[in-house]
Structure 1
């Protein structure tokens, strides 16, 4: 790891008082959770379309079985990267974490200001009445009820209207933050940030990938990610292609906070 680059990033973080962090699957791989697009990722096990709204409607049982096996990790624990972000938030450095991850590890680590842009795998909701179910409850329903994915708390003539959908944003889907108000809130956070820190995402999936471009002119962008991103060669951008845990540990030690 280049010493000069580390020193520069340490200085940028030290002087910052309002860091917005964007995280992707790469921060959770160090907790044993598979990413999506690497050679050992989830998409090597099954086609991407399985995580689509259309597939969910056509094959709800198969969708849930895939999700339970590949997306739900109740025993996963936060790694050192998550814990350092919690420390930086507590110290007043990090103002918000905007994550693509659905695993809830940022909250498990103790972070308070977390936006789960792609939702959460911890709960599911009836598309008709809005009744919420825990994922543990959905696992139990799968084992005991034939049409476990249909809500019986309400009633309609069309069962599909009562499908219980995991609270994750699928392809062809929209989520809580996919609204004018949601986008405006996020873009405001980035606009007032004095540093944007990207961890473990290739920044290739829209609209999440567009967020760094909304930072103010001259505001530094620090990217810690094993692979390349579309922003790597931009001005005021500092790229470290190393382990997130290892890099954040080194930065935290040099910060001395």
Structure 2
């Protein structure tokens, strides 16, 4: 690991008072959760189409069989990366976490200010009446009834209009943050950051990939990701292609090192 880069980044973090963290699947792989696009990721098991809104409506049972097995991880535990981010929030350094992840591990680690940009796999809602279900409830229903994905709390002539959908953003879908108001909130958060910290995302998927552009000119962009990102060679970018947990641990040690 590049000790000079660690020293540089720790100095930037030490000076910062408003760190905004952007996270992707790479921070959760160290908790045993598969990412999507790597050589061992989910898209090697199945095409992206399976996680589309269109596929959900055409093949709800097959969709849920795949989603429950691959996207729902109730027993997964936060790793040291999640824990250090939560610790820095308690210390007043990290102000917001904006995550692509739907696993809830940031909250399990203790982070409070979390924007789940792509939603959460913990809950599901009827597309007609909005009744909310827990994913555990749905798993039980899968074993009890054939049309477990149809809401029984409301009545419409067409069952398809009252499907129970996970509260995640699928391909061809939009979410709570995909609104003018949602984008404005996020861009303002990024505009006020004095460090933007990217963890475990290649920043390839829009619109999440454009978020670093909303930082003010000269604000450092620290990237810890094993793969390349479009921002790696920009001015004010600091890149470490190492383990997130190990790197954050070293940065945390530097931050809390006493005077010599």
Q: Smaller-chain TM-score range?
A: over 0.9
C-alpha offsets along residues 140-164 of structure 1, whole Å, 9 cap, x if unaligned? 0010011000001001111111000
Q: Paired residue for 1:234?
A: 234
3-state secondary structure, aligned to 1:108? helix
Q: What CA distance in whole angstroms lies between the structure 2 residues aligned with 1:192 and 1:124?
A: 33
RMSD: 0.6
Q: What CA distance in whole angstroms lies between the structure 2 residues aligned with 1:11 and 1:213?
A: 22
Deviation, 1:256, is: 0.5
In the TM superposition, what are the counterparts of 1:161-240 in structure 2 within 5 Å? 161-240=161-240
How does the TM-score come out when normalised to structure 2? 0.98
In the TM superposition, what are the counterparts of 1:68-83 in structure 2 within 5 Å? 68-83=68-83
Aligned length: 257
How does the TM-score come out when normalised to structure 1? 0.99
Q: What CA distance in whole angstroms lies between the structure 2 residues aligned with 1:146 and 1:234?
A: 53
C-alpha offsets along residues 98-152 of structure 1, whole Å, 9 cap, x if unaligned? 0000000000000000000000000100000000000000000010011000001
Q: What CA distance in whole angstroms lies between the structure 2 residues aligned with 1:49 and 1:123?
A: 22
Asked if 1:152 is matched to 2:152, the reply is yes
Deviation, 1:249, is: 0.1
Deviation, 1:22, is: 0.1
Q: Paired residue for 1:121?
A: 121
Q: What CA distance in whole angstroms lies between the structure 1 residues aligned with 2:145 and 2:186?
A: 40
Q: What CA distance in whole angstroms lies between the structure 1 residues aligned with 2:200 and 2:146?
A: 39
Q: What CA distance in whole angstroms lies between the structure 2 residues aligned with 1:111 and 1:59?
A: 36
3-state secondary structure, aligned to 2:88? helix
Q: Paired residue for 1:100?
A: 100
C-alpha offsets along residues 164-195 of structure 1, whole Å, 9 cap, x if unaligned? 00011000000000000000000000000000
Deviation, 1:2, is: 1.3
Q: What CA distance in whole angstroms lies between the structure 2 residues aligned with 1:30 and 1:5?
A: 22
Q: Paired residue for 2:110?
A: 110
In the TM superposition, what are the counterparts of 1:21-100 in structure 2 within 5 Å? 21-100=21-100
Asked if 1:248 is matched to 2:248, the reply is yes
Q: What CA distance in whole angstroms lies between the structure 1 residues aligned with 2:217 and 2:74?
A: 41
Tell me, which stretches of 5 or more residues in structure 1 are unaligned? Answer: none
3-state secondary structure, aligned to 1:223? strand
